[in-house]
Amino acid sequence: MNSFDVAIIGAGAAGASTAFHLAKEGVKVILVEKNSDFIVKPCSGGMAASVQHLFPFSLEPVVDEIIKKVKFTWCLSDQVNADLSSSSPFWIVKREKLDKFISIKAKEQGADFLTSFEVKQIVKRKTKWVITAKDTRAIQARCVVIADGSNSSWPNEFGLGPKNLHYASTTSVRLEGRGLLEEGTSIFDFGLVHHGFAWAFPMQNSVSVGVGTFIGDHAVESKEVLNQLLPSLGFSQEAGARKNSNLRVWNGHSQLHTDQMVVVGDAASLCDPFLAEGLRPSIMSGCEAAIHINSWLQGHSKDLSGYTKAMKTKWGNSMAWGRRISQVFYRFPKIGYQLGIKRPTAPKRIAQILSGKMGYEDIAQRVIKRLLLQRSN
Ligand SMILES: Cc1cc2nc3c(=O)[nH]c(=O)nc-3n(C[C@H](O)[C@H](O)[C@H](O)COP(=O)(O)OP(=O)(O)OC[C@H]3O[C@@H](n4cnc5c(N)ncnc54)[C@H](O)[C@@H]3O)c2cc1C
């Protein structure tokens, strides 16, 4: 049985990023993926350009579009625009290209990569994990990184991530052609969807449309929403194939490591519960996991707890506010739209959140300061 320092389960944004950063440090790492190739994922690919600083190579080859304007609407009207042209770049990437690109970079650094390897069992034998695939192939490693996305069962089995999982219910559609969507423009509509929002992002020769509901346990009722949204974008109501999926979102601070194991990306419930931003935390968690695993392998730290702490500080504290904002906003979206999105400074702030320049924590602190000032006047 082949033996590695680290085995990573799932070659999405989180797993591939972890593999790259570990391999770069000379760690003997293997990345395993259940699919035989990189597939189209139900992801609209909106990504803060600030993730670039997490890689020593340029991500430009996989950027389909640079977003310069974000349009917010309520039931397709009452429009507010955020201009991103000067300061806060927000990119659109196709996931099948991004995941492949980072995985290839990991291979170039020396990572092993196995496709069609669907992990069925992970068990500890003395000091090593034995990871067995559906087809009975097996590998062993000192450390395992769980990176297999929103449907992962391993966090529950190994006591990782939040006790109560929370899911956003989504429908995604990829449309051929650009319809009426202007170049460099993304649309967010907060009025069409009960407890959520609908969005349209431009991609090369296509448009990615999504509908998501963020509170409650109901499956999103996307048909009615798409019947209104698609014609407004210049497509027929029936255009494109629909894909429904549940997206695991942040639901409280939790432990992301255990003995010789960490969880990253969607499997770790890191996705933003307000705007469904999951790529940045996936990549960020992959980079952080690599730093702390490497330090542990080198004997510089006694365990992997530094990873949980780093993710709490760098991501979780902002998400705690994002979750509170989401719960209030999506319960009273009309008021939220009028008082939140339509505030003169709000579009700029949302653009700063999407571009990674500001967290929900900063927004909350500004609001609290404003309220305190109002009280003292
Ligand atoms: C409709 C929709 C739209 C979205 N739009 C955006 C957006 O615009 N911007 C954004 O930032 N986020 C978006 N997200 C969220 C984003 O897609 C996720 O947060 C991101 O994909 C998480 O990456 P990951 O690597 O953790 O998981 P994944 O991308 O799901 O990767 C997990 C990998 O593990 C593999 N795997 C699964 N099980 C096994 C197994 N047993 N053995 C081996 N391999 C396995 C899978 O095949 C997959 O390749 C969206 C999500 C949805 C549902």
Same domain as 141, residue 41: yes
Tokens 């929900």 map to which residue?
360
Same domain as 263, residue 242: no
Instruction: Cite the beta strand spans of the chain per DSSP E.
Output: 2-9, 29-32, 46-48, 63-67, 69-74, 77-83, 90-93, 112-114, 119-125, 128-133, 138-146, 166-176, 185-189, 196-203, 206-213, 242-249, 257-258, 261-263
Instruction: Give a yes or no: residue 363 inside a domain.
Output: no
Q: Of 211, 230, 248, which closes a domain?
A: 248
Using DSSP's 3-state secondary structure scheme, residue 262 falls into strand
What pLDDT does 328 receive? 87
Q: Of 325, 356, 372, which closes a domain?
A: 325
Q: How far is CA 96 from CA 12, 91, 103, 140, in A?
A: 9, 15, 11, 28
Q: Cα 94 to the chain's mean position, in Å?
A: 13
Same domain as 159, residue 60: yes
CA of 230 to the centre of ligand 1 (A): 24
Same domain as 142, residue 49: yes
Instruction: Give a yes or no: residue 354 inside a domain.
Output: no
Instruction: Give a yes or no: residue 350 inside a domain.
Output: no
Query: Cβ neighbours of residue 332 under 8 Å, at least 6 residues apart?
Result: none
Instruction: Give a yes or no: residue 211 inside a domain.
Output: yes
Using DSSP's 3-state secondary structure scheme, residue 110 falls into coil
Owning domain of residue 241: 166-248
CATH number at residue 152: 3.50.50.60
Same domain as 110, residue 23: yes
Instruction: Give a yes or no: residue 153 inside a domain.
Output: yes
CA of 331 to the centre of ligand 1 (A): 27
Beta bridge partners of 146: 9, 263
Tokens 């571009």 map to which residue?
355
Ligand 1 residue neighbourhood (C-beta within 6 Å)? 9-15, 32-35, 41-47, 118-119, 147-149, 170, 172, 210, 245, 247, 265-267, 271, 276-280, 282
Instruction: Give a yes or no: residue 345 inside a domain.
Output: no
Strands 77-83 and 69-74: antiparallel
Same domain as 46, residue 184: no
Pocket probe mutation, ligand 1, options 43, 203, 283, max atoms within 8 Å of Cβ:
43
CA distance 316 to 295: 22
SS (H, E, C) 266-329: HHHCCECCCCCCCHHHHHHHHHHHHHHHHHHHCCCCCCCHHHHHHHHHHHHHHHHHHHHHHHHH
What pLDDT does 346 receive? 79
Q: Residue 194's closest CA among 166, 216, 173?
A: 216
What pLDDT does 338 receive? 85
Same domain as 236, residue 275: no
Tokens 């996305």 map to which residue?
149
Instruction: Give a yes or no: residue 133 inside a domain.
Output: yes
Beta bridge partners of 122: 131
CA distance 113 to 107: 7
Q: Of 285, 305, 325, which closes a domain?
A: 325
Query: Cβ neighbours of residue 352 under 8 Å, at least 6 residues apart?
Result: 88, 358
Same domain as 12, residue 33: yes
The structural domain count of the chain equals 2
CA of 44 to the centre of ligand 1 (A): 11
Instruction: Give a yes or no: residue 156 inside a domain.
Output: yes
What pLDDT does 190 receive? 93
Q: Residue 256's closest CA among 168, 165, 166, 155?
A: 155
Same domain as 243, residue 112: no
Same domain as 294, residue 152: yes
Q: How far is CA 131 from CA 116, 139, 266, 297, 318, in A?
A: 14, 5, 20, 19, 34
Same domain as 132, residue 51: yes
Same domain as 260, residue 115: yes
Pocket probe mutation, ligand 1, options 21, 30, 64, 148, max atoms within 8 Å of Cβ:
148
Mean pLDDT (10-residue bins), the chain, 377 residues: 96 98 98 93 92 96 92 93 77 94 98 98 96 97 98 97 95 94 93 94 94 83 93 95 94 97 98 94 98 98 98 95 89 85 79 79 75 64
What pLDDT does 236 receive? 96
CATH number at residue 203: 3.30.9.10
How many CB atoms neighbour CB 259 within 10 A? Answer: 10
